[in-house]
């Protein structure tokens, strides 16, 4: 997230896609994650800049409790849509 924020600051178009366990970056409690203390700040900055998170539909939390409580913009995407996003990209960073 920090890297995406830096790329956006350089006035570049950025699409953030979360798949698998990366969906937990939108959990209310991220203290146990690496840089967990900073994640909320990065999310807020990205939200303020209008950068949504594209979330793989198969990993969206079923009940949503404790997830995305800040109401960050989320765009559900299928694996095929993720493939299409990657196909359109000039460059990408994968973690």
Reported CATH class of domain 2-88: alpha beta
Look at residue 57 in the predicted model and tell me its pLDDT.
Answer: 96
In total, the chain counts a number of residues equal to: 95
19-25 LR contacts (CB < 8 Å, sep 24+): 19/56, 19/59, 19/82, 20/56, 20/59, 21/59, 22/95, 23/55, 23/56, 23/59, 23/60, 23/61, 23/67, 25/1, 25/53
Q: What's the confidence (pLDDT) of residue 82?
A: 95
Stated pTM of the model: 0.85
Q: What is the chain's pLDDT, residue by residue, as a tens digit (95 residues)? A: 777 877 877 777 889 999 999 998 898 888 777 777 788 888 999 999 899 999 999 999 888 788 999 899 999 999 999 999 999 988 878 77
């Amino acid at each position: 997230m920090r890297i995406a924020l830096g790329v956006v600051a350089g006035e570049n178009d950025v699409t953030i896609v979360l798949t698998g366990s990366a969906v937990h970056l939108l959990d209310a409690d991220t203290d146990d994650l690496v840089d967990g203390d900073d994640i909320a700040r990065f999310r807020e900055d990205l939200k303020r800049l209008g950068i949504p998170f594209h979330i793989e539909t198969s990993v969206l939390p079923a009940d949503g409790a404790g997830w995305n409580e800040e109401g960050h913009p989320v765009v559900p995407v299928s694996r095929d849509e993720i493939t299409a996003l990657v196909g359109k990209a000039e460059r990408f960073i994968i973690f």
